[in-house]
Amino acid sequence: MVATALNTSQSEAIFNAAQKLMPGGVNSPVRAFKSVGGQPIVFDRVKGAYAWDVDNNRYIDYIGTWGPAICGHANDEVLEALSEALSKGTSFGAPCALENVLAEMVIDAVPSIEMVRFVNSGTEACLSVQRLMRAYTKRDRLLKFEGCYHGHGDMFLVKAGSGVATLGLPDSPGVPKSVTEHTLTAPYNDLEAVKALFAQYPDEIAGVILEPIVGNSGFILPDPGFLAGLREITQEYGALLVFDEVMTGFRIAYGGVQEKFGITPDLTTLGKIIGGGLPVGAYGGRRDIMEMVAPAGPMYQAGTLSGNPLAMTAGIKTLELLRRPGTYDRLDEITKRLATGMLAIAGETGHEACGGSLSAMFGFFFTAGPVRNYDDAKGCDLEKFSRFHRGMLERGIYLAPSQFEAGFTSLAHTEADIDATLAAARDVMSSL
Ligand SMILES: *Cc1c(COP(=O)(O)O)cnc(C)c1O
């Protein structure tokens, strides 16, 4: 089968104009397709499992606006709730009952959360939580893992040092060394490295923050015992354990990875799904820690648009849809069909590949594997992934434009969508 070249002339015209207006033509870097080459497509509209570009090409979408669209894009019930809320206004800057509703839902769902604060993005949630970690423990050092993303706050932009854990050097110009020198890094899944850092700085580490399942260096699962080990070490040293569940919250299970694996952190960050496609983030956890946050306590953090009625409404409706019986079994089943199908096809067409899925999250790498951390992920065939990505795009399959991103499914994806995706993958992999 020969792929018909996609007509993307409108996309090209709009993106070319955008490059003169906004840095790199985008408002968030990965959208620019830099790591796979070629031009990004410009979206016109989305619905269910599909996105349409400005040239009217349809794609089966496995990015789902980077996570929020777990009920499918532009879900009718979410839209209906939103249009009702819209008639009452877009922002209050004052308490509103909807905040209580979503707060109760989050507290009921997420094991570690007894109190919650809503913000406007995952970045803001992580920025706030690191301040809280430090305020509560009166310690300055943070420990993060190579390849884990916690938004673009200065203290998290630390280059992954290879091999041994190292003191952080800034990953981006503009980030002062005086900020990142407090950020320690260790390889993911390496408990020994974590123990060594705690032994070196026994009274200085405020806490450990991690993606309890990694999605930001590809899809990487924690080794058995890794999360439990972190729980033990942090307790031993009086440090906090923070799960950044901005991506995994309400995706891996209704209560996130902490519910799925039964490990309860002290604090949790959320985002993406809890906004149902509108800008929301949240952080929450143990009541005695959360009561440090202003105005209950002295740790300052605020937001003009935080808890706004539209975002709360989209979040509430999305969680209502997710807590219906069978949701996560369904998501797990179709996602497994996709991930195992991809690996089988890679094997049959002679490509080394590894990967997997859990609930509504999946990933695969062009390497024999296993991939247990960022260094392993970097060892895969990026050039092959670029050609695969372009081939899939030309066949109407929209995958994350980077080998270092997990994929997402939604309740709107059907068996037929998965089968069409696998047929496209067979076609592309046969000629890679
Ligand atoms: C997306 C993401 C963030 C940042 O959230 P934004 O809403 O993009 O600021 C933080 N942590 C993790 C794990 C994420 O996946």
The more confidently predicted of residues 362 and 38 is 362
Distance in angstroms (rounded) separating the CA atoms of residues 359 and 361 = 6
Average pLDDT over residues 18-30: 95
Quick one: pLDDT at residue 173? 87
Cite the residue boundaries of each domain of the chain with CATH code 3.40.640.10.
76-322
Ligand 1 pocket at CB < 6 A? 121-123, 126, 149-151, 211, 215-216, 244, 246-247, 271, 281
**Largest Cα–Cα distance in the chain?**
65
CA 123 to ligand 1 centroid distance, Å? 6
* pLDDT above 90: residue 3: no
Contact assessment for residue 41 and residue 396, using Cβ atoms and an 8 Å cutoff: no
Q: What is the pLDDT of residues 67-117, one digit of tens each?
A: 999 999 999 999 999 999 999 999 999 999 999 999 999 999 999 999 999
Distance in angstroms (rounded) separating the CA atoms of residues 428 and 351 = 12
Q: What is the pLDDT of residues 150-188, one digit of tens each?
A: 999 999 998 543 333 445 667 788 989 899 999 999 999
Distance in angstroms (rounded) separating the CA atoms of residues 155 and 344 = 41
Q: Please give the number of the atom of ligand 1 that sits closest to the Cα of 148.
A: 13
Average pLDDT over residues 17-34: 94
Examine the residue annotation and report whether 50 is marked as an active-site residue of this protein: no
Quick one: pLDDT at residue 35? 86
Q: Which of 136, 149, 374, 398 is catalytic?
A: 149
* pLDDT above 70: residue 63: yes
Question: In the predicted model, what is the mean pLDDT of the chain?
Answer: 95
* pLDDT above 70: residue 26: yes
List Cβ neighbours of 78 (8 Å cut-off, separation of 6 or more).
Answer: 71, 276, 277, 314, 317, 318, 321
Fold held by 9-62+326-431: Aspartate Aminotransferase, domain 1 (3.90.1150)
What are the strands of the beta sheet with 354-358, ordered from one edge? 354-358, 361-365, 407-408
Which secondary-structure segment (H or E) carries 127? helix 122-137
Quick one: pLDDT at residue 165? 40
140 three-class SS: coil
Q: What is the pLDDT of residues 344-382, one digit of tens each?
A: 999 999 999 999 999 999 999 999 999 999 999 999 999
Least Cα distance to 134 among 169, 179, 166, 173 occurs for 179
CA 247 to ligand 1 centroid distance, Å? 7
Cite the residue boundaries of each domain of the chain with CATH code 3.90.1150.10.
9-62+326-431
Q: Which of 59, 144, 237, 272 is catalytic?
A: 272
Contact assessment for residue 109 and residue 254, using Cβ atoms and an 8 Å cutoff: yes
CA 219 to ligand 1 centroid distance, Å? 15
Least Cα distance to 128 among 267, 278, 286, 314 occurs for 267
Of all residues in the chain, what percent carry a pLDDT higher than 70? 97
Q: What is the pLDDT of residues 290-343, one digit of tens each?
A: 999 999 999 999 999 999 999 999 999 999 999 999 999 999 999 999 999 999
pTM comes to 0.96
Average pLDDT over residues 236-247: 98
Q: Which of 154, 244, 417, 427 is catalytic?
A: 244
The full length of the chain comes to 432
CA 284 to ligand 1 centroid distance, Å? 15
From first CA to last CA, the distance across the chain in angstroms is 13
Q: Please give the number of the atom of ligand 1 that sits closest to the Cα of 281.
A: 7
Q: Please give the number of the atom of ligand 1 that sits closest to the Cα of 244.
A: 13
* Alpha carbon distances (Å) from 333 to 6, 322, 357, 409: 31, 15, 10, 11
Examine the residue annotation and report whether 154 is marked as an active-site residue of this protein: no
CATH 3.40.640.10 is right for the domain spanning 76-322? yes
CA angle at 404 for the pair 159 and 8, rounded to the nearest 5°: 125
CA 6 to ligand 1 centroid distance, Å? 31
Dihedral pair phi/psi, residue 204, rounded to 5°: -115, -10
Distance in angstroms (rounded) separating the CA atoms of residues 8 and 393 = 11
Examine the residue annotation and report whether 376 is marked as an active-site residue of this protein: no
* pLDDT above 50: residue 432: yes
Q: What is the pLDDT of residues 392-417, one digit of tens each?
A: 999 999 999 998 999 999 999 999 99
Quick one: pLDDT at residue 368? 95
Quick one: pLDDT at residue 167? 55
